[in-house]
Amino acid sequence: RYADPRQPLMDWMRQEDNPYFARAFVNRVWAGYFNVGIIDPPDDHNLANPPSNPALLAYLAREFVQQGYDMKWLHRAIAN
């Protein structure tokens, strides 16, 4: 069998020092619930488009990583 060529990308995306994946994922889930992202539009992550609540986004992204990228935890945290 051949190794999955996507594995290095997934490994990089899920590194704890990668600030992009968790923030983008959390923002996308938030936008799914509220029709507007903490960063809006949800796919426009750049310095000219800051989050409406940076502390909330940082908390959710940090805890999402700490919880082992547990989507169930993320949905509960947002819904509660």
Question: Using one digit for the tens of pLDDT, what is the confidence trace for 2-54?
Answer: 788 898 888 888 887 887 899 999 999 999 999 999 999 998 999 999 999 99
What's the pTM? 0.84
Determine contact, residues 23/59, Cβ cutoff 8 Å: no
Distance CA 62, CA 57 (A): 8
Mean of pLDDT values over 44-71: 95
Residue with tokens 């190794």: 3
- Output the pLDDT for position 26: 97
Helices 19-34 and 54-66 pack at an angle, to 10 degrees, of 110
pLDDT-derived band at 1 (thresholds 50, 70, 90) equals low
